[in-house]
Homo-oligomer: A and B are copies of this chain.
């Protein structure tokens, strides 16, 4: 599939004090493509900030748009309002891919794709907000943007979209079978392997006030088809 939001920087992600992975550093990848893949696959980001020296964290909808991460919120929100004023952020997107079951608990772990982006965000200005919301909508459910009416001026004014540059980010990917590194002679009578985990969409549930004559739109039909293709075999 062609990426509708191609990146501008092909160079590897820089290693900084914050992005250098200390625990299992071999799992770190510095490819921007890997960062983009994690951000694009996730539906929710956890945004962390410091308020009066104390940490706060909040789940928000996000979308990558080229070399920036868009974060979506209400203009009334506390942490996002602080972020809009330039407070430093750490934003994590994590995809859980499986439980990794070794022959000991110590070597058991999880398979995951994880990205953390560090930096300061800026509010998307009014004249670019429509395009940013289109990117957000398209990431969450491709095609939906064209099925609904455009946002009104009042709705745009009540919506806060922040853009965080993807300059400083850490990506860690754990995949594959377990290793019994801690056991020179593991008990092979104990089952070991991976229990895959996957987020799937179910059958769409029409709203109570939806006329039965309204067909499922193309965006949802496509999402349902993706699920059937990915259904546990």
Contact = CB atoms under 8 A, between A and B. Distances in A.
A202 B197 contact: yes
Interface in A50-98: 50, 53-59, 61, 73-74, 76-78, 88-92, 94, 96, 98
A151 B104 contact: yes
Interface in A90-133: 90-92, 94, 96, 98-99, 101-106, 108, 110, 112, 114, 116, 118, 133
Contact of A50 (B53, B158, B217): B53
A193 to B, nearest CB: 4
Given A43-B110, A106-B158, A192-B210, 20 more contacts: A44-B96, A50-B54, A50-B55, A55-B89, A57-B91, A59-B112, A59-B114, A105-B151, A177-B205, A177-B207, A193-B204, A193-B206, A193-B207, A195-B205, A196-B201, A196-B202, A197-B199, A197-B201, A200-B200, A203-B233
21 contacts: A43-B96, A46-B92, A48-B57, A55-B88, A57-B57, A59-B114, A105-B133, A105-B151, A106-B159, A147-B190, A178-B207, A188-B210, A189-B211, A190-B214, A191-B210, A191-B215, A195-B201, A196-B201, A197-B201, A198-B199, A203-B232
